[in-house]
């Protein structure tokens, strides 16, 4: 595949428009995590527990409302759902900016506003999963997902390092000004999209019936519910302690906000490499590859437990990020290929809800648990769980054996489509 063809998805106008808006928005998003962390533990001079509460305030509404978001994204035009979400989140970020820049911010202000942000995001994410296939031709679907992932990764290369410098030298509120402006650009690009009206928009059932339909679609694919269930514990036990305790270690031992920015940027750099890999590589067994590629996250968590120098942790983060960059593009593509279009946003919502179900608990408990048993011990438990749980998921046959749809011979696909009785998905390792 030639270098130009790697970016062939950008030749298609609808996807190019979507990508420009999302790339701009994620550029702002890449600044926020570091700025928010040090707004809490720096500007407000609060503890890891307080930071955990604010982080949980973001994720908890996402968990609570994402199923509703999925149902409405399967009922309404998905770009409209995304646009309204962008407007709300832009207003939230602008409000936080004013509070921080004027010195009026208090912890409860941040928690409430971030909760509103999380609620709006709960409607955005399932809609976004469903919109992408409508903007791109099927052969370029993974390439489109990879390009969206690349823009996120680039944002999280540049963003954390810049945000760390801003937080250390001026006021984190400046970051929120920038993020608010990027949401305005994203909303404009969504407003300009011209997508065909889907037949699903003419169908109406009760809310509970729609919700049940999404659940049924989820559980019919064993590989899908297994990965979602695993992600729920993985994020709680591995990711939450890392994100909560990492800024504390950086402040105490590694040099402060700038050090944590470097570490976070390492993840973004690795994700960028993973996204580039996803432009070229379409693994024949996507879930097998995705699961294996989570194991390289372990070294970064271990090095943080050892309080290794920030550049060393950043390199390890880059290795883990590369795996997750590939994971993101391949996972979205697999979901979009194997799940019926009319149920895609609802299944994506169950994915988001299930994956993030215990993350708020992880954020809230990381501080108290680390005080009871020590920060390093808490992180070593994370490392152990990461390795053991990943190996357990690899024992599930449908995870190992699921095939990429376009990896099969066209003739075989035609035969499967004509077979009576069992649906074709049964022959694809679902």
pLDDT digits (tens, 9 = 90+) for 74-92: 778 888 889 999 999 999 9
**3, part of any domain:** no
**199, part of any domain:** no
Domain span at 369:
11-193+206-428
Joined tokens for residue 17: 């428009």
Number of domains present in the structure of the chain:
1
Specify whether the CB–CB gap between 293 and 281 falls below 8 A: no
Q: Could you tell me the pLDDT band of residue 262, with boundaries at 50, 70 and 90?
A: confident
Joined tokens for residue 371: 């005080």
Would you say residue 422 has pLDDT above 80?
A: no
- Residue 45: predicted pLDDT: 65
**221, part of any domain:** yes
**282, part of any domain:** yes
pLDDT in tens, 383-409: 999 999 999 999 999 999 888 876 543
Q: Could you tell me the pLDDT band of residue 5, with boundaries at 50, 70 and 90?
A: low
- Residue 423: predicted pLDDT: 36
**344, part of any domain:** yes
Dmax over Cα atoms in the chain, in whole Å? 68
The Cα 192–Cα 187 span in angstroms is 9
The Cα 358–Cα 74 span in angstroms is 25
Span of 1-10, 118-127, 333-342 with lowest mean pLDDT = 1-10
**201, part of any domain:** no
Would you say residue 68 has pLDDT above 70?
A: yes
The Cα 62–Cα 359 span in angstroms is 10
What letters, b where the CB count within 10 A reaches 16 and e where it falls short, cover 224-260? bbbbbebbbbbbbbbbbbbbbbbbbbbbeebebbbbb
Domain CATH number, residue 267: 1.20.1250.20
Q: Could you tell me the pLDDT band of residue 415, with boundaries at 50, 70 and 90?
A: very low
The Cα 130–Cα 74 span in angstroms is 8
- Residue 92: predicted pLDDT: 93
* Residue 235 half-sphere exposure toward CB, CA atoms < 13 A: 23
103 burial (CB, 10 Å; 0-12 / 13-18 / 19+) is: exposed
- Residue 6: predicted pLDDT: 59
- Residue 388: predicted pLDDT: 96
Q: How far is CA 98 from CA 94, 103, 178, in A?
A: 6, 8, 12
**51, part of any domain:** yes
Residue 290 CB contacts under 8 Å (≥ 6 apart), including other chains:
227, 326, 327, 330, 331
**1, part of any domain:** no
- Residue 30: predicted pLDDT: 79
């Amino acid at each position: 595949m030639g270098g130009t063809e790697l970016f062939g998805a950008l030749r298609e106008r609808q996807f190019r428009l979507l990508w420009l808006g999302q790339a701009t928005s994620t550029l702002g998003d890449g600044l926020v995590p570091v700025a928010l962390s040090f707004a809490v533990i720096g500007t407000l001079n609060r503890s890891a527990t307080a930071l955990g509460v604010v982080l949980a305030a973001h994720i908890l509404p996402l968990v609570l409302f994402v199923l509703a978001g999925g149902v409405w994204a399967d009922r309404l035009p998905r770009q409209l759902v995304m646009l309204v979400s962008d407007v709300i989140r832009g207003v939230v970020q602008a409000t936080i900016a004013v509070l921080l820049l004027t010195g009026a911010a208090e912890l409860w202000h941040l928690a409430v506003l971030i909760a509103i942000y999380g609620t709006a995001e709960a409607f955005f994410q399932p809609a976004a999963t469903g919109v992408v296939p409508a903007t791109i031709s099927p052969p370029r679907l993974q390439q489109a997902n990879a390009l969206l992932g690349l823009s996120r990764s680039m944002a999280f290369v540049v963003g954390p390092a810049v945000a760390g410098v801003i937080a250390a030298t001026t006021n984190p509120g400046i970051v929120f000004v920038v993020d608010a402006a990027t949401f305005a650009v994203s909303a404009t690009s969504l407003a300009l999209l011209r997508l065909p009206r889907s037949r699903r928009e003419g169908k109406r059932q009760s809310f509970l019936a729609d919700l049940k339909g999404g659940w049924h679609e989820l559980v019919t694919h064993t590989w899908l519910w297994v990965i979602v269930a695993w992600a729920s514990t993985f994020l709680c036990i591995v990711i939450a302690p890392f994100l909560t305790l990492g800024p504390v270690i950086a402040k105490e031992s590694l040099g402060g906000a700038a050090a944590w920015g470097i570490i976070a940027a390492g993840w973004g750099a690795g994700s960028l490499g993973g996204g580039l890999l996803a432009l070229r590589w379409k693994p024949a067994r996507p879930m097998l590859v995705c699961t294996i590629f989570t194991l390289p996250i372990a070294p970064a968590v271990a090095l943080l437990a050892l309080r290794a120098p920030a550049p060393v942790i950043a390199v390890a983060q880059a290795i883990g990020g590369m795996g997750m960059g590939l994971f993101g593009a391949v996972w979205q593509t697999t979901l979009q290929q194997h799940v019926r279009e009319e149920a895609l946003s609802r299944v994506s919502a169950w994915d988001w809800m299930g994956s993030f179900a215990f993350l708020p608990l992880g954020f809230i408990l990381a501080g108290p648990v680390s005080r009871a048993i020590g920060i390093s011990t808490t992180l070593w438990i994370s490392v152990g769980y990461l390795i053991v749980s990943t190996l357990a998921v690899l024992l599930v046959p449908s995870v190992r054996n699921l095939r990429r749809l376009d990896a099969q011979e066209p003739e075989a696909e035609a035969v499967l489509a004509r077979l009576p009785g069992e649906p074709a998905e049964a022959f694809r390792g679902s």
